[in-house]
Amino acid sequence: MKFRPCIDIHNGKVKQIIGSSLVDEGDNARENFSSTKEAPFYANMYRELGLEGGHIIMLNPVESPYYESTKRQALMALESCPGLLQVGGGITADNAEMFLDAGASHVIVTSYVFKNGRINNTNLKKLVKAVGKEKLVLDLSCKMVEEESISDGKLLEQKYAIVTDRWQKLTNVMLSYETLDELSEYCDEFLVHAADVEGKQNGIEQSVAKILGSWSKIPVTYAGGVHSLDDIKLLKRIGHDKVDVTVGSALDIFGGNLKMADVIKACE
């Protein structure tokens, strides 16, 4: 397990938000933390700590009046630490190369490859042609949509649908071994936010972690709900030490109680 740092940018500022509260209309979200420092400050901190493979997420849609200021923050962070971080948010086959040229190690994509609730293979292949499989991370962030009773109600099977457009639109594609198998042919890594618990600091979504840990044929990073070192230890156990983790709102650098050094040590 590796610790993957993050820089979330909303309305031109580095923030930590409650994921399920994010709405494009009015560019609103419930905030846990809003930084007075710009994105390159965090990128350089991560570089000095020897952390890599983290991600920058731009949380405004391209149509937002805040998008350009959000993108500016992302580009400054990438340019300050070339090759260190991945970037996602509004990435398409047409603009992906710009972010790679600015210093991103990978581009992270969701909405562009899911249209009308389904996988858009045309767009997926365009992306691979534009940047190469080795530079592509697919974000399979998900929300629980169904619980099924099995064996006279003694066991509940939880199902999770992949969500797009900054966790606001449900697709018809389930997070499953079959989906992971299919999409792993086109990308280098997966990033999975458990959107129901994202930013709430009330524990990880264990069922999501179990799916990822039982599969993990390529690198996969889990994000959502971590609030203690016990959460990291639990993820390490049920993810079979194969699932990397992102911690946001709970970190002291984002106003939380967890010290960065303790989180890094817990992941090792």
Q: For residues 222 and 142, is the Cβ–Cβ distance under 8 A? A: no
Q: From first to last of the 268 residues of the chain, give the pLDDT tens digit.
A: 999 999 999 999 999 988 778 778 788 888 889 999 999 999 999 999 999 999 999 999 999 999 999 999 999 999 999 999 999 999 999 999 999 999 999 999 999 999 889 999 999 999 999 999 999 999 999 999 976 555 555 556 689 999 998 878 999 999 999 999 999 999 999 999 999 998 888 899 999 999 999 998 999 999 999 999 999 999 999 999 999 999 999 999 999 999 999 999 999 8
Two tokens, residue 42: 């965090």
Strands 136-139 and 189-193: parallel
Burial 186-205 (b: 16+ CB within 10 A, else e): bbbbbbbbbbbbbbbbeebb
Domain contains 65: yes
CATH number at residue 69: 3.20.20.70
In a domain? residue 123: yes
* pTM confidence score: 0.93
Residues 113, 141 contacting (CB under 8 angstroms): no
Torsion sign, CA atoms 219, 224, 117, 68: negative
CA distance 47 to 178: 36
**Are 190 and 11 a contacting pair, CB within 8 Å?**
no
pLDDT at 143: 93
Question: Is 117 within a domain?
Answer: yes
Q: Quick check: helix, strand or coil at residue 17? A: strand
Cα separation, 99 vs 107, whole angstroms: 7
Phi and psi dihedrals of 167, rounded to 5?
70, 20
112 falls within a domain: yes
Do residues 240 and 18 lie in contact, with contact meaning Cβ atoms separated by under 8 Å? no
Phi and psi of 44, rounded to 5°? Answer: -70, -35
The number of folded domains in the chain is: 1
So what's the pLDDT on residue 199?
84
CA 268/CA 266 separation, integer angstroms: 6
Closest CA to 184 of 249, 140, 235: 140
Per the domain annotation, does 42 fall within a domain? Answer: yes
**What stretch of H or E contains 51?**
none
In a domain, 98, yes or no: yes
Which range marks the domain in which residue 31 is found?
Answer: 6-267
pLDDT of residue 146: 72
Q: Is residue 256 part of a domain?
A: yes
Going by C-alpha positions, the residue among 146, 138, 149 that lies closest to residue 185 is 138
Residue 1 lies in a domain: no
Which two tokens mark 140? 């399979």
